[in-house]
Amino acid sequence: MKSGKVLIAQGGGPTAVINQSLVGAVLEAQRYAQVDRIYGAVHGVRGIVDENFMDLSMETAGNLERVAAMPSSALGSTRDKPDRAYCAEMFKVLKAHDIRSFFYCGGNDSSDTVRIVKEFADEANYEFTAMHIPKTIDNDLMANDHTPGFPSAAKFVACAFAGVNMDNRALPGVYVGVVMGRHAGFLTGAAAMARVFADDGPHLIYVPERTFDMNTFLADVKSTYDKYGRCIVAVSEGVHDAEGTPIVTKLQENVERDAHGNVQLSGTGALADLLCDEIKAKLGIKRVRGDTFGYLQRSFLGIVSEVDAREAREVGQKAVQEALRHNASGTITIKRVGNYASAYELANVKEVAALTKVMADNFITTASNDVTADFIHYLRPLLGSNPLEHAARLMAPMVEKILHK
């Protein structure tokens, strides 16, 4: 490969381990003689267009390791979704700075950007490699068993629901927790890992892979409440009706939309509030509470899967190896080997770009209000150490009543 500079960028929603991929790529790139400098684009592709570059070659190894352990995107991110015209401007900047390898850590839209920029380089006969490094807490990238960022977010969701379950058991009522996931319910399903005892919540789990019916939902809540005297619900922000309309838009007068015209699901507590209102109004249960986990899931400091951190580092390293050692372009994918190991493979970005993976049918119960043992088996090794393995309850017998027999 021709000597030149390396450019690394981070795009989309941050994760707890995205900086492991950044640092893995930087440290690996330093090993190759053909690399003149290693740049970082500040705020993703927007930083490329605006020529806002940081010279990561000047970072010490010690500081890079400290950054690797920090959540969120150290370089800053962007929600820009480049089209061909946008990518043409990016390529002009890349060429002007003699960038010969581009690494973009992001989701499916980011992989599509990698594809388009590489096409411009090929058309210009410019020697150039472009690699997509996978990242998303939604776990919705095709061609991957799972995606870096998801296991740590899943561990946070499981721990949060475990705490909610203990709280709800002490002061019973109905609790509704809304979890990120527009099209895929993997993260919401992770709430099931909070269960230790037979009556632990969440008792009901609803994902966007299945149609959400309000009457069925209310019947499920009532049945659970009648059985346990309490009910904990985990629900994906993207649950929708039979026509595909998000439930939040059916219950809300003013619908907020993002820059791409999508209904704003994250960063609003509307769905939790509306579902709680329906439970109070239709079931007459007085103690009903709701939360929206929102951005807490993405970069929560202190709850990180060690498996996730290791794999995030290794996909960054693997991307650099493929680009600089084998002059390859594409995306790095994670494959599951045995029970449990991970393997990394190079794939064409077209296998990932602008596509969405959803939960397999065997991960969701027939009643569509819970996940199956297959999903638990899939998720458990990704979470690393289990903070619930020493969960305990008071087991002492009750004292016989004297006055109120």
SS3 content of the chain, % helix, strand, coil (to 5): 40, 20, 40
Q: Is 138 annotated as a binding residue?
A: yes
Question: Residue 177 has which token pair?
Answer: 């927790």
| Residue 109: active-site member | no
156: CB partners within 8 A, 6+ apart:
16, 296, 297, 300, 303
In the numeric block, the tokens 């959803």 are attached to: 358
User: 228 with 199: CB under 8 angstroms?
Assistant: yes
Q: Is 182 annotated as a binding residue?
A: yes
Q: Is 137 annotated as a binding residue?
A: yes
Tell me the pairing of strands 35-41 and 53-55.
antiparallel
Q: Is 181 annotated as a binding residue?
A: yes
Question: In sequence order, what E strands does 50-191 have?
Answer: 53-55, 99-106, 129-134, 174-179
33: CB partners within 8 A, 6+ apart:
3
Query: In this structure, which amino acid lies at residue 148?
Result: P
Q: Is 365 annotated as a binding residue?
A: no
Question: Residue 200 has which token pair?
Answer: 């632990």
Q: Is 297 annotated as a binding residue?
A: yes
Question: Residue 79 has which token pair?
Answer: 């929600």
Q: Is 298 annotated as a binding residue?
A: yes
Question: In sequence order, what E strands does 270-386 have?
Answer: 288-292, 330-337, 341-347
- Long-range interactions of 344-351: CB distance < 8 A, separation 24+: 344/314, 344/315, 344/318, 346/318, 346/322, 347/143, 349/111, 349/112, 349/114, 349/115, 349/118, 349/132, 350/115, 351/142, 351/143
Q: Is 243 annotated as a binding residue?
A: no
Tell me the pairing of strands 330-337 and 129-134.
parallel
N-term to C-term CA, the chain: 85
Q: Is 136 annotated as a binding residue?
A: yes
Among 19, 106, 101, CA closest to 59 = 19
In the set 109, 138, 273, 308, the catalytic residue is 138
User: 251 with 235: CB under 8 angstroms?
Assistant: no
Sign of CA dihedral 303, 264, 236, 177: positive
Residue numbers in the known binding site for substrate are: 136-138, 180-182, 237, 295-298
Residue numbers in the known binding site for diphosphate are: 13
Residue numbers in the known binding site are: 13, 108, 136-138, 180-182, 237, 295-298
Q: What residues act catalytically?
A: 138
Residue numbers in the known binding site for Mg(2+) are: 108
